[in-house]
Amino acid sequence: MCNRGCEPYYAVDDIIRAFSHVQAAFSDALLLLVGGGSLEPQVRELARQLEVHNVDFIGKVPRSDIGRYYDEADIFINASRLDNMPVSILEAFAAGTPVVTTAPEGIRYIVEHGRTGLLSEPRDWRMLGENVITVLRDPVLAATLTRNAYEQSRTYRWDRVRAQWLQLYQSALMGTVHSDPKQKAAAAQNSLSVGVK
């Protein structure tokens, strides 16, 4: 399952290519593409040219319905060429859906290869497909990735990050925002114990 739009930077065309590789190993595999986008006609044409079957173009769905697609999926797949901190990956973490994704710089901060997901370089659709095959063939790995990712998703809950945000805003107002990464990390860690309500 992928719920990224058919836009250039989300590289849904690479997902189709990766899925063609997956289908060579799992002929009955199904790909759910949730969301529309300006490049959807080209993505549909690529699927036709590659003779990829079992690709279901769901279209846009209300946010209230997205959870059922994570529940139905065995894997969340993402092929971004450029990204920062996609909510869709955090949603997959929280839903217990294993994540296989490319690793533009922002994603490397939230997905740890082999611990919370499997990573490949952007545009390397063959490795993306290999990673999907690895998860499908190794249920122990899938369970481990899912468990670790779910635990990590809890660090993004509002009750955990609220105090950190308030601390950063207070520091900015007082002119004490730290430019050193170690100082930033220490300030963020200290903010967890502030207990702001």
Q: For the residues of 3-57, what is the DSSP string, one character each?
A: ---SSGGG-HHHHHHHHHHHHHH-TT--EEEEB--TTHHHHHHHHHHTT---EEE
pTM of this prediction?
A: 0.83
Grouping H, G, I as helix, E, B as strand and the rest as coil, residue 40 is: helix
Count up the domains in the chain and report the number.
Answer: 2
Please tell me whether residues 135 and 172 are part of one structural domain: no
Q: Encode pLDDT of 46-82 as tens digits.
A: 999 999 999 999 999 999 999 999 999 999 999 999 9
Question: Rounded distance, CA 192 to CA 93, Å?
Answer: 22
Shared domain check, 163 and 144: no
- The tokens for 100 are 């296989």
pLDDT at 195: 40
Q: Which amino acid is at 73?
A: A
Question: What single string gives the DSSP state of each residue in 176-191?
Answer: ----SHHHHHHHHHHH
Same domain, 117 and 167: no
Mean pLDDT of the chain: 90
pLDDT tops 80 at residue 186: no
pLDDT at 86 > cutoff 50: yes
**Structure confidence at residue 164 as a pLDDT band (50, 70, 90):** confident
Q: Are residues 91 and 183 in the same domain?
A: no
Could you tell me what percentage of the chain is helix, strand and coil, using 3-state DSSP and rounding each to the nearest 5? 55, 10, 35
* Residue 29 belongs to a domain: yes
Based on its alpha-carbon atoms, the radius of gyration of the chain, rounded to whole angstroms, reads 19
Answer whether residue 59 is part of any domain: yes
Q: Are residues 84 and 162 in the same domain?
A: no
The C-alpha atoms of residue 2 and residue 141 are separated, in whole angstroms, by: 20
Are 89 and 171 in a shared domain? no
Q: What is the pLDDT of residue 98?
A: 98
pLDDT of residue 183: 56
**E strand or H helix that includes residue 27:** none
Comparing CA positions, the residue from 76, 40, 79 lying closest to residue 153 is 76
Query: For residues 106 and 175, which has the higher predicted lDDT (pLDDT)?
Result: 106
> Does residue 92 share a domain with residue 182?
no
Residue with tokens 């990390």: 185
Q: Which residues contact 85 (CB under 8 A, 6 or more apart)?
A: 106, 107, 109, 110
Helix (H, G, I), strand (E, B) or coil at 142: helix
Residue 179 belongs to what domain range?
Answer: 158-191
Both 98 and 171 in one domain: the answer is no
Asked if residue 197 belongs to a domain, the reply is: no
Tell me the two tokens of residue 32: 């759910």
Task: CATH number of the domain at 61, please.
Answer: 3.40.50.2000
pLDDT digits (tens, 9 = 90+) for 8-25: 999 999 999 999 999 999
- Rounded percentage of the chain residues whose pLDDT exceeds 70: 89
Please enumerate in sequence order all residues whose Cβ is within 8 A of that of 26, keeping only pairs 6 or more positions apart, or say none: 133, 136
